[in-house]
Structure 1
Amino acid sequence: MDREKVLRTKLYQLECHFTWALRKDDIDLPKVLNSLEEQLKLDHGKNKALARAYSALAYVKFLQGFQEEALNNLMTSVQLYIECHEEEFHKTLIVTYGNLAWLNYHMNNYTECESYLQKLQTINEKHSTEASSVPEVLGEKGWTFLKFSQKYYERAKECFKKGLELEPKDSECNTGYAIALFRTEYGGFTYTNSPTIKQLRRAIEMNPDDDVLKVLLAMRLLKYMRYDEAEILVKNALERSPDHPHVMRYVGKFFRSRGCVDRSIPLLSKALDQSPHSSFIHHQLALCYKIKKIQLLQEGNHHAHASQVQQIRDQIIYHLEMATTHTTGFITAMSDLALHYGEKPDISRAEELFQMTFQTAKEKNDSLYVVNFYYAEFQLLCKRCEALAIKHYKQCLKLCPGSSEWKQSCNSLKKIAEKRIRKNTQDGEAYAILGFLHKEKGENLQAIECYEKALSYIDNDEYLRNLCDLKMSILPYKAKAQ
């Protein structure tokens, strides 16, 4: 076997960015690059987080084709790790040395590649542990998954969980696991049994100076209406870290979620001064201005407020444009931007953006339900086309049960159906919409009743098929009951 093949066999056994199945198609490289460069700008001193960021940045540079830059970043990472631990063969260097071995292999520097493989063998012999079972490696792997793509959040969670099984008091794994849970835990939990709340408390106990964790806990407490404790946490975090960019942006989101946009906007604007390319902050500001727009419209007297509403809408469009510029494939922001062009009204631009967003969502196989929801809103509110609105609300319901867009689609369809029935008590299509809603919610008996009523006023093969399917689905339960 020739030298190159021998090296490649050894390289595939390493634990590093090159072997973690980080698919280029899954990663928004400009967004990740932005995030890492921001971290390097804001973090100071000689710490492991900085060393880890340089190692990750090197892999991004490699994917972009800048091998020399990647090499320089990896050498900086090595230097930082050695300064942290004052030794050349510490466990924290496993990932960076692995990256260096791979990068030198790609640059045809086979002798250098072999030297890093030798360093890794020395570390392995020194600690007598497989790299895949080293908490420091699992931690770095978890942080990489969190940083690189939403599609990898579950993998990040598993890495941190495994790391904590090996070293329960590892502060970085505790922090990473808390953040991974925060990003992946949805419905089905209560305040008392939420794994996210439990883990955030544990992580804060181990990292009492981490004010970002406190704000994340406050945001999660909002979900369970624990307002007093949440407010105390936010106040404490702001007093201790008033200029920390991540504290500002998450407190801004916290205040927006509380409906306090006049407290949120100044904080987010201040955070934006430090991180002008942050799609997260631009998106949060757009959402704040949306609340201000809705508040104005709810006051009535639309003619008097028309100019002010348009100014706010322009602000929303600006921030959504920035969010979608800095993060390609930001489906929610793209959809919302299209809807606001429709409101402007710039119908042709809105249609163009919606078609681009549908295509992006299909290509990425991501958030198609979101695009359907916003397109339904556009058809209903901007084009007054109820039929297409109904079609796309239904698509949203089929694609992602339980999401916030699913709930809003349910409410919109219910309002449409009930409004039509008030106008005409014999509107078969309206009863069929209610039947569809009950069916999607699992309320089969109510769905049967609605479809039967619909068929009493209108002949429709689709309604009849739905009715037959529903009746068949409840037969086993009836038989069991008898």
Structure 2
Amino acid sequence: MSSTEEKPLKTELDQLECHFTWDLKKADTNLTDHLNRLEHNRDLNLGDKAGTARTHNSLAYVRYLLGSHEEALTNLQRSVELTKEYYEDNCDKKLIVTYGNIAWLHYHMKQYAECKSYLEKLREIKGKKIVPHEVLGEKAWALFKFSRKYYGRANECFRKALELEPEEGEWNAGYAIVLCRTETKCKSPKDSLAIQQLRRGIETNPDNDELKLLLALKLAEFKLFDEAEDLVEKAFEMSPDSPHVIRYVGKYMRNYGSLDRSIGLLKRALEIAPNSAFIHHQLGLCYKIKKEGFGSFREKKRFRRLSISHLEKAITLKSGFVIAMAHLGILYGEDRKIKQAEEVFQTAISISDEKTDGLQAVHLYYGEFQQYRKNCLPLAIEHYKKCLKMANDTKHGKKSAKNLRKIASRYVSMAEALSILEFIEQVTGGRLSTAEGCEHVLESTNNEE
């Protein structure tokens, strides 16, 4: 094909709605981790043809970015097969994105006749005046799964899709999950859009037990345990062998119920999904809490080693798992593995940006590591301040403020203490402008100990 013939083909391709035109940048995700996660989800959700078809679409795009064009084409062909099996005669609107991806992939493979063939298929579908919410929904899922940086865009696409078809269960579920991931702390359940949308998601997806567990976790944040525990029991009763359900039940038990039961459930989930970074992380946290409880030195050491083992596995399976790195770093420090701790903290900081989930925990734990394992107060203060500045009303922000006040009351000069306390008041919105005020806060801090 000459360049003159290729130009109008490219112009038509640019107008398609698919992964190739949605500005999914390889720099915004770890492609290897993303590929592993998609393959893991595909293998766990074999019974869900619609969801698996969508996963094959995403797998194809990631494989294209990695240069594996033939494998990408195989994924797209499998996506078409699954879509036709599930939707039968009503599949055209569900194939718009997949056909677009196939057309683009053939273009990149210089298979122009095949590319034109799929463009023709899309023209036929377009002629049937397919409503656009199908594409909006697929775009929302693609954005959501590709990168945390795209959650805002995914949120907007789900919202627009639901404006066009409010009863669509998949979009209601997706919108609820995105809100769960992005919502900041609310004062009451009535203020929580995530809780409202989770209820809507369950209403339109009564068999979706994952949504019930996400709602249970949100309700438990407001101490609404009766309804939360009822949801947990119902979800687990309906899906006792689903690793997705088991892991959230395990998380709920760890936070609000029995730690030992949580460990048992998570071990069971791990037998079904041995390569789940999420489950290894949850087990690591359970053993970390066990280590902090009562017990002999030998027991504490054993639980610490178990925690380290699962956290190491989690970051091996998911190299960008920043929150797991934060927990692993602090445990390495306790285990006197100072070099390994320093390395894992530096890696976590280097791969993060200010919106990375877990970065606030990294600053808190790195500050504690510098203070208690390396006896370096300047670096401890620096990272406590970074943690507090990210968000002052979270548990990590509050812990950083407490640590800073303790340093101000015990370990630095009055001038330095005043500077630290003024910083805290500035970030949290309070006022502290005099030495007298500084002395009052220091005295209060000492009395709290």
**TM-score, reference length from structure 1:** 0.85
Tell me the secondary structure at the aligned position of residue 127 of structure 1: coil
Q: Which has the larger radius of gyration?
A: 1
Q: Distance in 2 between matches of 1:236 and 1:59?
A: 37
Residue among 386, 402, 414 paired with 2:405? 414
Letter in structure 1 aligned against 2:368: E
Q: Deviations over 1:373-401 (max 9, x none)?
A: 22111012222333432232123223444
CA contact (8 A) 1:268 1:281 kept: yes
- Aligned-residue offset at 1:409: 0.3
Q: Deviations over 1:322-371 (max 9, x none)?
A: 11111122222222222211110121222233333332236997765443
Letter in structure 2 aligned against 1:439: Q
Alignment-derived partner of residue 142 in structure 2: 144
Letter in structure 1 aligned against 2:72: A
Letter in structure 2 aligned against 1:147: K
Q: Distance in 2 between matches of 1:249 and 1:370?
A: 22
Q: 1:235 to 1:315 in 2, by over 3 A?
A: same
Instruction: Answer with 358-367 or 17-26: which moved more.
Output: 358-367
- Aligned-residue offset at 1:419: 4.1
Q: 1:185 to 1:312 in 2, by over 3 A?
A: same
Residue among 346, 355, 360 paired with 1:355? 346
Letter in structure 1 aligned against 2:292: I
Q: 1:236 to 1:363 in 2, by over 3 A?
A: closer
CA contact (8 A) 1:89 1:119 kept: no
Q: 1:96 to 1:451 in 2, by over 3 A?
A: farther
- Aligned-residue offset at 1:453: 5.2
Letter in structure 1 aligned against 2:335: K
Q: Does 2:245 align with 1:247?
A: yes
Q: 1:114 to 1:378 in 2, by over 3 A?
A: same
Q: 1:29 to 1:338 in 2, by over 3 A?
A: same
Residue among 58, 61, 64 paired with 2:60? 58
Tell me the secondary structure at the aligned position of residue 190 of structure 2: coil
Q: Distance in 1 between matches of 2:357 and 2:220?
A: 27
Tell me the secondary structure at the aligned position of residue 271 of structure 1: helix
CA contact (8 A) 2:326 2:348 kept: yes
Q: Distance in 2 between matches of 1:451 and 1:120?
A: 74
Residue among 121, 129, 140 paired with 1:119? 121
Q: Distance in 1 between matches of 2:20 and 2:153?
A: 16
CA contact (8 A) 2:323 2:357 kept: no
Alignment-derived partner of residue 370 in structure 2: 379
Alignment-derived partner of residue 20 in structure 1: 22
Q: Distance in 2 between matches of 1:112 and 1:324?
A: 41
Q: Deviations over 1:46-69 (max 9, x none)?
A: 732121111111112212211111
Alignment-derived partner of residue 393 in structure 1: 384
Alignment-derived partner of residue 166 in structure 1: 164
Q: Distance in 2 between matches of 1:68 and 1:218?
A: 43
CA contact (8 A) 1:89 1:123 kept: no
Q: 1:51 to 1:242 in 2, by over 3 A?
A: same
For structure 1, the residue ranges without an aligned partner over 5 or more in a row are 300-304, 455-482
Letter in structure 2 aligned against 1:192: K
Alignment-derived partner of residue 182 in structure 2: 184
Q: Distance in 2 between matches of 1:295 and 1:319?
A: 19
Q: Distance in 2 between matches of 1:166 and 1:88?
A: 18
Alignment-derived partner of residue 3 in structure 1: 5
- Aligned-residue offset at 1:7: 1.3
Alignment-derived partner of residue 447 in structure 2: none
1:188-199 maps to which residues of 2 (within 5 A)? 188-199=186-197
Determine what percentage of the aligned residue pairs are the same residue: 49
Instruction: Answer with 61-70 or 160-169: which moved more.
Output: 61-70
**TM-score, reference length from structure 2:** 0.91
